[in-house]
């Protein structure tokens, strides 16, 4: 089957490379995906620039695309950080490196979350840093439960309500 390439240069007939769910893709492997403009064939490395969020979802959420970690997955995370910072924060969650008081350099958000829940809560919720680290609902509940046990007066009313407890 032949498709017309709409990206990177003049239109030319090109072979279609359908997704092979058993194949591990490297940066130079070609892949054809359907886009708003019709089917487009690009090397995997080019797809990372063209649509990094879609490629990430295919790898992680849909689990239909297998890629080499060093050649594709690691560069993809870097591309995601620039292309869609909010999506990047959501997928990284507590694995995100943050600037946190008391540490001279960036630290995994998971470290103060687990080791200093009250101070992390103060920084995250009361310090208005909710935009810096995305906490899933499950992690919010874990954090709020720890804070409610360690320093009940610290927890905001809306967070008690999420736990189903009246303050």
Q: What is the mean pLDDT of residues 6-26?
A: 74
Q: Are residues 45 and 103 in the same domain?
A: no
The pLDDT score that the predictor gives to residue 165 is 73
Single residue among 83, 109, 141 that ends a domain in this structure: 83
- Do 16 and 58 lie in a common domain? yes
Residue 13 confidence (pLDDT) above 70: no
- The domain boundary, picked from 83, 111, 128, lies at 83
State the average pLDDT over residues 117-146.
94
pTM of the model: 0.74
Identify the residue whose tokens are 């089917």: 39
Binned at pLDDT 50, 70 and 90, residue 15 comes out as: confident
40 with 67, same domain: the answer is yes
E strands, 50-114, where?
66-67, 97-98, 107-108
CA nearest 19: which of 46, 50, 48, 55? 55
Contact 26, 72 (CB under 8 A): yes
Distance in angstroms (rounded) separating the CA atoms of residues 138 and 149: 17
Specify the pLDDT at position 111: 96
| The pLDDT of residue 98 is above 90 | yes
127 band by pLDDT with thresholds 50, 70 and 90: confident
Average pLDDT over residues 104-117: 95
39 and 19 inside one domain:
yes
SS3 122: helix
Whether 40 is covered by a domain: the verdict is: yes
Say whether both 77 and 119 belong to one domain.
no
Does a structural domain hold residue 143? Answer: yes
Question: Are the beta carbons of 47 and 35 closer than 8 angstroms?
Answer: no
Count the domains in the chain: 2
Domain assignment present for 88: no
Same domain, 98 and 43: no
Range of the domain at 153: 93-162
Helices (H) and strands (E) in the chain, counts: 8, 8
Query: H or E segment at 19?
Result: none
CA distance 77 to 66: 15
Report CA 167 to chain centroid distance, whole Å: 34
Whether 37 and 66 share a structural domain: yes
Question: Does one domain contain both 44 and 79?
Answer: yes
pLDDT (0 to 100) of residue 14: 64
State residue 3's pLDDT score.
42
């Amino acid at each position: 089957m032949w498709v017309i390439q709409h990206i990177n240069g003049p239109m030319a007939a090109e072979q279609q490379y359908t997704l092979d769910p058993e194949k591990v893709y490297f940066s130079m492997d070609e892949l054809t995906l359907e886009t708003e403009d019709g089917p487009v064939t690009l090397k995997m490395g080019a797809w990372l620039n063209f649509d990094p969020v879609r490629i990430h979802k295919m790898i992680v959420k849909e689990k239909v695309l297998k890629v080499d970690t060093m050649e594709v997955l690691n560069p993809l995370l870097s591309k995601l950080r620039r292309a869609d910072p909010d999506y990047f924060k959501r997928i990284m969650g507590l694995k995100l490196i943050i600037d946190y008081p008391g540490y001279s350099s960036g630290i995994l958000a998971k470290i103060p979350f687990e080791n200093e829940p009250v101070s992390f809560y103060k920084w995250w919720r009361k310090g208005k840093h909710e935009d810096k680290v995305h906490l899933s609902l499950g992690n919010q509940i874990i954090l709020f439960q720890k804070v409610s046990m360690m320093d009940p007066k610290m927890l905001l009313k809306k967070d008690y309500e999420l736990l189903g407890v009246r303050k």
